[in-house]
Structure 1
């Protein structure tokens, strides 16, 4: 779950992707858990799903329910209804538990609540009651949308709240992002919120979170998207410090494919970072949160945002920091490079005491090669990252298509053919590499037995050598 609040994080990717100067409407970064598509061949991620942590206590759940009830309905009555509705216990069993509660109260024994009795008699667990509490909170918040049943809150930021819900018509679990009430009457925030939905809906790729619906219900503006129970790359970095090189490449290959699709559709993501890359339980990587996405040909928005920096300080490109108007796909490649750096080095590429210091380093400081930070890395992956994070967009990879050529080469334990090769234009080298790979597919496996066609240049060279040799010998004979 990403959390974009109004302040800029001082720790790597701790939260906000709102503008670093000025205000940004409707951009949240609150992201659903999602997934599907197998990773690159040979990928066998061993990173495990995030530990859910200890179950909440009955006391904490009761305290939250007291707040939800707000002095109205008795908490035990709320709990009784929730447990019966969820099928955890029958009405007779709940009534029996309530009788035990009343008996304890009359005998002035320990003031056990219905929750305690349900847990002690194994009708429900703390986790089950916590989930029911979340569902009740969603219901009581007034956030009801026809055709969906709210199951609980997934996360919240300054710009949106994300809920887990069931789409009743298709009987599937989804995530619903809702614009807060305080922004629901602001045309600028509403437009940005719908722009995110439109941007996501324009994309159809197995490595991008799928958009299902966007609309308004009552006073609420909502955006329905794919839900997957997974984790973020940031979660993995926090738990394991860094990724093994091969697994990191497998993830980045999938995200590069997703970005290539977005770029071909004319969209720039502008906020690629570890928290916006989800990993499903099957190990599939998904690019999330189109909240800062912008069409490359949207000159009106580009002019409106001129001079303002949008992105996350630890992963933002130099041209975004400068607030340039003509932001291209190269900005996403830079941010993806910064993300890959963090994944394999275990630290962000540039750090500082505040966001301004970090951004200044993106602009001016020389990048410490990742293999100097983590000596276990191959030279190839370091070369790729350095090219992705070149200060000048013109010296980065020209496209994610070119980037993928190098990533796949290093994954095969080969040298990256394109990284920092200045002999030919990138397009020519890319074409040569692809032609070479295509040709290799037709080479017979038994090369020794394959019939070879003589090289005409070699034959000509041999003939010339023979003629010169014969002529030289004739001259020697004539002199003798």
Structure 2
């Protein structure tokens, strides 16, 4: 059920998506559309507004439900929600002063709601702000408005590697090795920062337009121990089980660099074979097969022996037999990649990126200066 046209215009003004003057102009223009006076309703109006780029489909859907938002969060205006893929639950937005496109990840949970815990989480997030590597996505800033807390990350074009995998048509071996090498380089940067990914799998490998690959990770949640006895209502653990190292059979085992390397090896196996090493079964069956059954040799599927041997080392059941550093994995993958595709560059940045970066840097400097000026007043009240 949608609202009447008159109510829709009121909500549009209240939302701040359109000014009263803009609504008046659009109202007049819509009235000149053939049939608007007799067949026009809020839904036909919204389709017309979308066609004129006055509002987005997401924005009109919220307004039609009788809500005026919220759409604005600080300097950011939301124009769409992300429903599927690794960014599901996040929102596409623009930085209104510069029109730069970004993605907003709203933060919830005990670590956010508790002032004491939030201080530690915010410090950890701030350490990620500004870091720029070709195989990791960027975090631009952490915003705490009091009512809402969110992370601003870059908006990436492209597709998840998970969506490119097909058992009927596996990737060419050289391309699979290229993707895995990019992931290894991104993972090496994380490990260099003393961080662990904890959930390496094709879903979290992102192919940008042009072919560069970025490793996606959750910047908020620290990798937690894998607890096989906990309920898996949303199926996340089952999805992860295709890439879990045998050592996760140890109760309370936390992800580490070597379990990341094993997961990368399982991901490469899937790119080459079109399926994970141990498909089918429940979580317990999968993890037991990781620990006790050999993987099906890739040579039987026509994969060149050097690539198959590399996968065998990376997915060794004994962690001491694996490559001990993910940078070694990247080095071993290098000669297995098509030289012409070895160093695919990221897409050119949006034209608004430079001015956006200056804008948020100026805001951060202004905030820090304001806090410094507030210190003497605080001391005077004591």
Distance 1:92 1:73, change over 3 A: closer
Distance 1:412 1:154, change over 3 A: closer
2:38 to 97, 103, 115: 103
Residue in structure 2 matched with residue 130 of structure 1 by the alignment: 57
Aligned residues: 324
Residue in structure 2 matched with residue 224 of structure 1 by the alignment: 152
Distance 1:136 1:210, change over 3 A: farther
Residue in structure 2 matched with residue 358 of structure 1 by the alignment: 286
Distance 1:145 1:129, change over 3 A: closer
Length-normalised TM-score, structure 2: 0.70
Residue in structure 1 matched with residue 227 of structure 2 by the alignment: 308
Distance 1:239 1:356, change over 3 A: closer
Contact 1:216–1:222 (8 Å) recurs in 2: yes
* Unpaired segments ≥5 residues, structure 2: 229-235, 340-382
What does residue range 196-345 of structure 1 map to in structure 2 within 5 Å?
197-198=125-126, 200-201=128-129, 203-237=131-165, 241-291=169-219, 294=222, 308=227, 312-323=240-251, 327-345=255-273
Residue in structure 2 matched with residue 441 of structure 1 by the alignment: none
User: How many Å separate the matches in 1 of 2:89 and 2:216?
Assistant: 15
Contact 2:167–2:274 (8 Å) recurs in 1: no
The CA deviation string for residues 450-479 of structure 1, in whole angstroms up to 9 with x for no partner, is xxxxxxxxxxxxxxxxxxxxxxxxxxxxxx
Distance 1:384 1:115, change over 3 A: same
User: How many Å separate the matches in 2 of 1:406 and 1:234?
Assistant: 23
Question: For the pair shown, which has the larger CA radius of gyration, 1 or 2?
Answer: 1
The CA deviation string for residues 165-211 of structure 1, in whole angstroms up to 9 with x for no partner, is 11234431111101348985367985796477356438531110111
Say if 2:95 is the partner of 1:171: no
Contact 1:143–1:220 (8 Å) recurs in 2: no
The CA deviation string for residues 419-461 of structure 1, in whole angstroms up to 9 with x for no partner, is xxxxxxxxxxxxxxxxxxxxxxxxxxxxxxxxxxxxxxxxxxx
Distance 1:125 1:396, change over 3 A: farther
CA drift of 1:230 comes to: 1.3
User: How many Å separate the matches in 2 of 1:347 and 1:141?
Assistant: 43
CA drift of 1:337 comes to: 0.7
Length-normalised TM-score, structure 1: 0.57
Q: What RMSD, in angstroms, separates the aligned Cα atoms of the two structures? A: 4.2
Distance 1:180 1:294, change over 3 A: closer
Residue in structure 2 matched with residue 382 of structure 1 by the alignment: 308
Residue in structure 2 matched with residue 402 of structure 1 by the alignment: 328
Residue in structure 2 matched with residue 153 of structure 1 by the alignment: 81
User: How many Å separate the matches in 1 of 2:248 and 2:264?
Assistant: 14
The CA deviation string for residues 276-295 of structure 1, in whole angstroms up to 9 with x for no partner, is 11111121100112358759
